[in-house]
Structure 1
């Protein structure tokens, strides 16, 4: 391994300090959750009945389809934010290709990002509010932001000042 010189010098160190490698989590509870919320399993899917349904993939395996992907994605994201499923689970919705990909496998490189809610009804709309509780959680080394792998980050809007 070489040590980078010049401008790239700090990138390697920061990447090593900030990144997290997933250890994996079971996918069955997520599949069960989606089946209870009207996901048709692949074996029962009839393309002529719902040709515009969104394909649902779990760890690269096509497991089913869903007719209301926006609602399904929102529900699964809510589970992750409330820590009912692992923060390692990656959720990627590709609207153009009508695909919803979920990754629970081990070995993905993730990095923490803070989530900003853009709900117009929220008084803190568009702001990242850092509280004493957040500082305490960081000091205790508890997960605060969302860990996202590169594929999930690609589908999210990122704002930089």
Structure 2
């Protein structure tokens, strides 16, 4: 069963994040609210949905999708936000609701200006931090102190090396199975 397989691969079930601040954020990044949209003036725009509700339209959907993924990877917003750009349907779907089964994937650098384009974002410095974790004595620390002190898996997620995607985003993602 696919659900059992996903659950066995370090999955995360989303607990939900408030979505309304994202509407304001997307407005600041040139999204027109649905109430302000005139289909006669701009018939070739992309619809923007938040948790299944049509909230607005955008003229440059690729930029908006990359900005939203960027804030997720830079840990400026919750890592459990899902951003799906469906080019054929001319839709961007953003999900922040609870109950989505997400799985972790390593991130590939797609920045055309980067010298690391096409390679993992994971670097030697990340591996060194994980190795350093082994030398830290955590026997006297509470779980909260351990989370603050150790880099670990949460550090990889916060650094944008690993991101969680749900089934909806996985359908649109290009996933490499081998290095």
TM-score by length of 1: 0.84
Deviations 1:13-60 (A, max 9, x none): 773351110000011111101111221111121111111110000000
Match for residue 29 of structure 1 among 14, 21, 46? 21
The aligned counterpart of 1:40 is 32
For structure 2, the 5+ residue unaligned runs are: 134-149
The aligned counterpart of 1:108 is 100
**Correspondences of 1:1-161 after superposition (within 5 Å):** 12=4, 15-128=7-120, 129-134=122-127, 136=130, 140-142=152-154, 143=157, 144-161=161-178
For structure 1, the 5+ residue unaligned runs are: 1-7
Give me the whole-angstrom Cα distance separating, in 1, the residues matched to 2:123 and 2:40: 50
Task: Please tell me whether the aligned partners of residues 83 and 169 of structure 2 are also in contact (alpha carbons under 8 angstroms).
Answer: yes
The aligned counterpart of 1:3 is none
RMSD, aligned α-carbons: 2.2
How far off is 1:77 after superposition? 1.3
Aligned residue-pair number: 152
With over 3 angstroms needed to count, the CA separation of the structure-2 counterparts of 1:120 and 1:74, relative to structure 1, is: closer
How far off is 1:154 after superposition? 0.8
Give me the whole-angstrom Cα distance separating, in 2, the residues matched to 1:127 and 1:36: 31
Deviating more after overlay: 57-66 vs 133-142: 133-142
Q: Secondary structure at the match of 1:102?
A: strand
Give me the whole-angstrom Cα distance separating, in 2, the residues matched to 1:31 and 1:58: 8
TM-score by length of 2: 0.76
Give me the whole-angstrom Cα distance separating, in 1, the residues matched to 2:57 and 2:15: 27
